Structure 1
Amino acid sequence: MIDLKIFILLLISTFPTFISQKPYCDRTCPGSILTDLPYPFGFSAGCEIPLNCTPNGTVSIGEFSVQKVNEQELLVSVPSKCGRAVEALRGLYSDHYAPTSDNAILMENCTEKVRTCSVPETLIQPNLEVIDCGGERNASGNVSCYSDDRRSMFLDYENVTKTGCRFLLSGMVVKIVGDNPAVSLNVQVVRLGWWVKGKCECSDVAVCTEVVSPVDGGGGYRCECEEGLVGDGYKASSGCRKGSSGCSPSKFLFGHCEGSERAGILVGVVVIGAPLIACLGLIYRYIRHRTIAKSRGTSSRRLCEAKGITIPIYSFKDIEKATNGFSDKQKLGTGAYGTVYKGKIRKAVDFSRRHSEVNLASLAIDRIGKGNLDEIIDPFLKPIEDVSTLNSIRKVAEVAFRCLAFDSDMRPPMTEVASVLQQIRASNFAS
């Protein structure tokens, strides 16, 4: 049975889901430097664009690790590697992202020299000195660099594979500096552009950039807040607003909200969440009470159905009435297991009077002392005849016999009971 405090904590931890009524998206990867990913990225099925979170805290797309995620791009590490099939580049294409046209793809073992690269060879060679592919690179260079038309948004995968190159060595992101022909390189990485599928669903004060998927030709979009506003611009997320930061319920729970925003979301949580938690708490207590009552009733019936035992079962109201509300005049005494009362219970069928003074502890002591364990053990255990189980039952009965002693000085401490039970368990495993 789950503890009530744990139940409430679990409820609070999932409270943002109840408010939004949308599939939960886990945006944290334990141990990763990429924390609290922006919409629409995350690490669970409820996210628009799910990424992989490895057990060691690495965020990845296929075999490539992700270095950077923001509102415009994904930056993926593609370290220089010999013998990696050029088809590995296909893993960077999906229905939500693809390499952009400002990438330069370095390949080797080509049928002929590729001459479409926007990066001067004098800048490529220094970045390849640390790579040794078994001496296969000849003096004229067996490395080719492919770049696409920068007027297009994404790199054409089909054109890359048509170059006749077998291996994907690495990648570079090429940035044009100003109006001059100078370039800036980010080596051993590939830049991915991303989009949300469908028609524009941006905030009214956000700019929508339409995207055509290079994978299936479908429509997509990205949102960006207008200048002077903050937020991600998406209607499905935080939208756009004035101020320096936004405070969503998830950010509030992780302590990322400040000032009036934190106070505002706290008031909202209290007003909406308190009645919900109280209601669910009452439901939980009711279910727990019913479960315990049912369990006790089942245990009592099993005990009473054991061989040779005929113990009548009365309701609490019958016992309360028979003892005049547990009057002191009906009290027989107080023993090790509570107070014992005498009472007369009138059955509705024949109005005959029966006296009931049942002490289950005395009953158990009597049966254990006489060796009649089969009259009090669970009927489920009776068909079992293997020596190991029978010995375990006898040893547990001996411990129970000592624990049921009327004189408290004769009862063993719980540490000793635990030790004896552990020894019984160990001997059972050994056999």
Structure 2
Amino acid sequence: MLVSKFNQRCNPTRYMTGDCGGSTSRYGVLVGGIIAGASAMAALVLVCCFIKRHSSSMRKRKSMRRLLCEASCTVPLYSYKDIEKATNGFSEDQILGTGAYGTVYAGKFSNHRLVAVKKIKNRDHDSIEQVINEIRLLSSVSHPNLVRLLGCCVEQGEQILVYEYMPHGTLAQHLQRERGPALPWTVRLAIATETAKAIAYLHSAVHPPIYHRDIKSSNILLDFNYNSKVADFGLSRMGMTETSHISTAPQGTPGYVDPQYHQNFHLSDKSDVYSFGVVLVEIITALKAVDFSRAQSEVNLAALAIDKIGGGRVEEIIDPYLEPHRDAWTLASIRKVAELAFRCLAFHRDMRPSMIEVADELEQIKLSGWAPTDDGMFLSTASSFCSSPSSCNEKPRAASKSKRLVLVNSMREEAEVESPVSVQDPWFSEQSSPSANSLLGNVIH
């Protein structure tokens, strides 16, 4: 009966109009209070989440800054605003290359300084470790053939590294004919020598020594004068002075990884020697380290080189552009470099030369193009300093020993003129290891 009377008083129409009597009014107030309380609680939760997230972000930023300071307090900190402006808002038109750990952009600061900006793609623990590792190592070394780290940025939740700009891209791009005509042999030999000196410096002049772990042609950058700059230290590790190796999980790029390191996890300076041996073979052949378009037995360039060089058939794999039979010195020097590469690619690390020995031998091969004459002058083979097939018809010329570098630089300038750099085509690094985020590319518009 009570229910019946309640229904009579509070039918849906009367309830919606609010004409339901005292009990229903109290019920409505109660429901409204619950809704208001729930809303307030939700708002409080959102505020707490925001504060927690902001606090977490602040803690991460402070932690990152602390790690940066621990890695090196000498590395300048750039503002995100300045870097964003320098790269036109990280425009796709500014992209120089992409890799597993980030994207590299061309940048130009207000003072007209050109830079390469690497924006880390993933911001997890591994990427932070890569960034800190690279900052720590690059800020502790100084060599004319190592790329320079100019600064970094840790604002807006981003991890950004700023490097000196390399206008002529990577050695790999030139060997694959992706950036103008092929490099002449003397330029290749000079690049190989400079690269070897840089690696030898890391192994012998730095204490504790530094093992790069990702030596490859796409990590060898070329400046305005085609000077070599070794880059990408994300995978590098400091060695132990009291032991010959350190134990670590093998990392690197397929085709360049030391097979003994891959087999027993023992990283040493000879692991870099093996990788550099592959680079030497690339310089001679202009072939990729791994190419599945080749015959199955020739997919791996190191294996192909060992077979051909070991069998005395190095002429079969020389880059046709080099035209080795044009003169005796070119062919002889290519053979010497091939023999050196063969020793670097030995399976057992104890059979490989040290990087100091490699650098010294390459320097001697490079200087062997200068033959002393009776009057104390030095005669260079014509083709050893030509920058193109057409310029190789010049007669040999004599020069004093003190002018060696002048002639080499002159040759490099000629190569620069005949190898124009595109300002349109971006470069993309090869599929490789987690550190395949090499730096450079095109001239900035």
Structure 1 length-normalised TM: 0.23
Flag the structure with more relative contact order, 1 or 2, with Cα contacts below 8 A and sequence separation at least 6: 2
More helix, by proportion: 2
The structure that has the greater radius of gyration is 1
Structure 2 length-normalised TM: 0.22
More strand, by proportion: 1
